[in-house]
């Protein structure tokens, strides 16, 4: 887990995605130290301290959204490798898996479940177990992730309220944790997911992405990005889904085998017509996002981070 938010001079949280690399005018939300934006090609984009890293960040002890940008379900490298092997040998063929073939780590993590109706009886992949291998359909992914998002919010809220009641020494940290998490939730809830068909003079492509702006404005920007590579570009919006910023990265994980890079542009995919239609149907099967009262409050709350100083 990496620190992905800094605080600007007005006390507002700024995401690493929204600024250029290098030195910034942002401060660490925990210690107010100066931050540098690290935006390389190997590690995830993140902030690091210009001077000594503070304890919470050094420990990477700050909240991140469950199943947002990491789909390994906290499995060890060995466990993840074993899970992928089981999927290749059994999951893709819908074969039952014998108990003696399953490492205990995968059972404890809920990656597989017993199904007595299989013949012969055995274990099968759970919905959660399909996520690391990118096999869970997008509508079901939402059903798994959304309760986890709200459960973690509740946990952080209770931790802050308990610290406030006790006037605990870690009260400020608990408040910062809650603010950071709410900021991340607000970011994905504020975004609209879009799926585009891109026809060029050379090839047909598809693009997944999110935007907080009108889709027409985003499409115009995409066309400008592509024109250096193609003579003609025609973009068709196949679908938009409000408040579904949580899905973009899992989509990329699920369909990474179809990813198609154009120069420095990485959010494009090359599907055949049949696959593209199946994927569009899968996207359309996602239920419209109904915001809870808590989520509405997060979207409408414009409080600054300065208020952390209790």
Taking a C-beta distance cutoff of 8 angstroms, is the pair 176, 29 a contact? yes
Which residues, in sequence order, are CB contacts of 185 under 8 Å at separation 6+?
65, 149, 153, 295, 298
Q: How many CA atoms lie within 13 A of 156 on its CB side?
A: 24
Q: What string of DSSP letters covers 86-142?
A: HHHHTGGGT--B-GGGS-HHHHHTTSEEEETTSSS-EEEE-HHHHTTTT-S-HHHHH
The total of other beta-carbon atoms located within 10 Å of residue 298's CB is 20
Alpha-carbon gap, residue 13 to 176, rounded angstroms: 11
**pLDDT score of 307:** 45
Alpha-carbon gap, residue 244 to 191, rounded angstroms: 6
The kind and range of the H/E element at 173 are: helix 171-189
**pLDDT score of 290:** 93
For the CA atoms of 72, 73, 76, 82, what is the dihedral angle to 10 degrees? -70
**pLDDT score of 52:** 85
Which sign does the torsion angle of CA 280, 285, 290, 291 carry?
A: negative
Taking a C-beta distance cutoff of 8 angstroms, is the pair 196, 235 a contact? yes
Structure tokens at 68: 């947002």
**pLDDT score of 271:** 97
Closest of 176, 175, 184 to residue 149, by C-alpha: 184
Domain borders along the chain are 5-61+149-189, 77-130, 192-284
One digit per residue, the tens of pLDDT, for the chain of length 310 reads 678 888 988 888 888 888 888 999 999 888 888 999 988 777 778 898 888 887 777 776 778 899 998 999 889 999 999 999 999 999 999 999 999 999 999 999 999 999 888 777 889 999 999 999 999 999 999 999 999 999 999 999 999 999 999 999 989 989 999 999 999 999 999 999 999 999 999 999 999 999 999 999 999 999 999 999 999 999 999 999 999 999 999 999 999 999 999 998 988 999 999 999 999 999 999 999 999 999 999 998 865 554 443 3
């Amino acid at each position: 887990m990496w620190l992905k938010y800094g605080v600007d001079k007005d006390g507002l949280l700024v995401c690493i995605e929204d600024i250029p690399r290098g030195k910034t005018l942002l401060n660490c939300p925990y210690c107010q130290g100066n931050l540098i934006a690290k935006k390389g090609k190997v590690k995830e984009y993140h902030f690091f301290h210009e001077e000594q890293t503070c304890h919470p960040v050094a420990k990477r002890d700050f909240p991140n959204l469950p199943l947002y940008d990491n789909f390994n379900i906290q499995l060890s490298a060995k466990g993840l490798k074993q899970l992928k092997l089981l999927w290749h040998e059994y999951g893709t063929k819908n074969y039952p898996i014998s108990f003696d073939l399953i490492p205990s780590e995968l059972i404890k993590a809920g990656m597989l479940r017993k199904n007595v109706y299989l013949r012969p009886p055995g274990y099968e992949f759970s919905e959660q177990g399909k996520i690391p291998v990118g096999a869970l359909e997008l509508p079901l992914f939402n059903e798994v992730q959304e309760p986890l998002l709200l459960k973690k919010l509740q946990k952080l809220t209770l931790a802050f309220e308990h610290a406030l009641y006790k006037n605990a020494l870690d009260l400020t940290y608990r408040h910062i944790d809650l603010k950071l998490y709410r900021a991340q939730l607000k970011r994905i809830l504020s975004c609209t997911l879009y799926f585009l068909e891109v026809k060029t003079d050379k090839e047909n492509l598809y693009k997944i992405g999110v935007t907080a702006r009108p889709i027409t404005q985003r499409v115009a920007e995409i066309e400008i990005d592509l024109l250096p590579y193609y003579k003609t570009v025609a973009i068709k919006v196949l679908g938009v889904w409000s408040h579904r910023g949580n899905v973009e990265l899992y989509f990329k994980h699920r369909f990474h085998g179809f990813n198609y890079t154009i120069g420095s542009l990485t959010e494009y995919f090359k599907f055949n017509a049949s696959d593209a239609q199946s994927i569009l149907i899968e996207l359309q099967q996602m239920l419209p996002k109904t915001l809870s009262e808590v989520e509405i409050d997060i979207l409408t709350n414009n409080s600054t981070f300065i208020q952390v100083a209790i």
